[in-house]
Structure 1
């Protein structure tokens, strides 16, 4: 009996030891799984994957207007099951030249209820950019990546999707946020925060029927109020006077006064990016945003719409997709204040170059970021291209433009590298200012 008890106790001890080892192993593996399933790490992997968006309009109606919404259902399918979505919405066309000139149309979607789409912050309003003119499908993506790297206050995110509309494949699109006030958008007060667009197309000359636009008091720029959504004439005059205070300070190049009214670092980053990608739309201006929260400074951004940059050949703007011919073209010129060798852009963007302090800070900021552009921003951009190559072949078959996507991406990379080297000399030799 004693021998039996001894064996039994030994067996129990052995069993306990094995049990502890097994439990420890399981616990360790569970922790490893938890680490591997970390949401942030998962997001980093999946943002580059191409998802699928299926849109069915009511009665299979065609989308013929960029003013009138059509009821629809939207289904999003991703390799990440947590990002799958299905719901009802409304859809319409969007854009100006991109809507009028090109067969592959961009769209705006308004969900009936707020939702996160492909891991992005909850909202009702989403945009599908067609990128028909851009043979790389990376121009906006690159600029947004630069803006995020520089930690600008709000920068759009990009998700690539293949879209089926009423059962018909219509190609690769970039899904992104609508530029607007919102918690996961431009985070300003809904009623009293200001979001303005400096844009010819939305201004009083080309949109005279609207009651939310005006000519700026000092620089006579076309301005459209994006937030607040509904404004009275008195509010419009107040907004105009608020902007005029900033305009006057800039025109005088009164650095200390401008610093009270404007987030100068955001302005510098904003202008460096415009020149980096040769975005000539500064001159019009088009798609230039700035915002101001209650009791806060004006801030430049969000960044938007860059398929007119990268040395786009405007001679073929209706049908062409020609870019990257000359990396030495300049927007601000070799002397931004005098527009020497550049475009005559509104003085709002260049009069600060009168200030010695501003010029010094501008040059210093360029020196601080120039190496990041190709070392960090380009690889992060190219990671999307590595994932969308198969989908882009399908898009090219659906929308043949006579350009090879992979070749154009390599040309874009070389153009950017050459341009950065060129801008090093140009910016370093900007005149030092007079004030």
Structure 2
């Protein structure tokens, strides 16, 4: 509506000018809306050659292998050749599956496939995911919601030391940086709530702690190589936020956290049924100097979409049911969902928070298929031929076309179900 009113004002102004005694002709130059290049949906070819053909056998930082990388893109200006280092990455995805994910560190900061200049990049194998699109859908959702620093997707077919190893999703490494999570170098903060990276499973990490109020596993990603004093500062700062949430104090929490980002972040988690909130795992938060804690970036969604954890080591089984819930039918009282940390549910005791949560769902529910899925499907179409080759290289007991259709149907059914669930959330008591 603002645009319509603005154009109306401009039109009237021009009309007044042309009707004056000294008529002046004015040409109105309205720029065309920016449309994403179709190249982002196409698959590029990535060739990686390690020094002396050395194998990549570890995800440890000390085991990086020198390499040369070449990208051949449909968009000629995106072609690239450079040097860097490569190693494995991930936890279960590295340990359990034959198709391995990788971390790349370029020797020189570079723009890759139209993504902002940086050294650190990730190649997600998506071996568990029979659609290849679960992370991409979540990233698109985050971008449409307006969550800051949301990752982007590019798809590449990778040839490693002369061997074709399939279709990969190339994306940014989640890290502090001017073209990544752009918080202050010295006083900004980036943390992950992550059982795999926290003191429980990684007691010697040196950069993690149990949160003060909710006893969640926290890993400090920035400041990097944090001192004891810096770790204590992050812990104390985060504890203040935890305490305000524990008290279900909306006003106090709003002074410490961007509540809109929290609502959007949790809607994405519930929409795709990401049960890893329970651990929690891969839950990122950041805070600018003198700013608010903000949720994101989003990360790691191949355990959502009703993944069957009973077949987690070998299976690719999703979409069996759409009625399971992360937060439940009464989040504040942990009814009907996973027993997620109360950090994610205590604000549902606040009437104002519940009202805003419900209102936000009403704003976005019709966009899930019309916008989120529509753009995801553009990647599906761009990857169709590469998916065939990937399926031949990594045959599994699922047909990718069938699974993509099931994913679409599951989302359609889930939207209708969540609409009823969220409308009927208890209104809160505070």
1:45 aligns with 2:22: no
Q: Distance in 2 between matches of 1:212 and 1:405?
A: 40
1:280 aligns with 2:275: yes
* 2:5 aligned residue: none
Q: Distance in 1 between matches of 2:336 and 2:145?
A: 27
* 2:182 aligned residue: 187
1:328 aligns with 2:303: no
Report SS of the residue matched to 2:98: coil
* 2:146 aligned residue: 151
* 2:72 aligned residue: 77
Which whole-Å deviations, capped at 9, do the CAs of 1:45-65 have from their partners, x for residues lacking one?
Answer: 100010010000011010001
Contact persistence 2:137–2:376 (CA under 8 A): yes
Q: How does 1:25-424 map to 2 (within 5 A)?
A: 41=35, 44-67=37-60, 68-424=63-419
Report SS of the residue matched to 1:414: helix
The structural deviation recorded for 1:249 is 0.2
Bigger Rg over Cα: 1
Q: State the TM-score, normalized to the length of structure 1.
A: 0.90
Q: Distance in 2 between matches of 1:187 and 1:417?
A: 35
Report SS of the residue matched to 2:387: helix
Q: Which runs of 5+ in 2 are unaligned?
A: 1-30
Q: How many aligned residue pairs are there?
A: 398
Q: Distance in 2 between matches of 1:151 and 1:241?
A: 28
Q: CA RMSD in A?
A: 1.2
Q: Distance in 2 between matches of 1:213 and 1:152?
A: 25
Q: Which runs of 5+ in 1 are unaligned?
A: 1-34
The structural deviation recorded for 1:210 is 1.1
Q: Distance in 1 between matches of 2:412 and 2:178?
A: 36
Contact persistence 2:223–2:230 (CA under 8 A): no
Q: State the TM-score, normalized to the length of structure 2.
A: 0.91
Which whole-Å deviations, capped at 9, do the CAs of 1:264-299 have from their partners, x for residues lacking one?
Answer: 000000001100000000000000000001010000
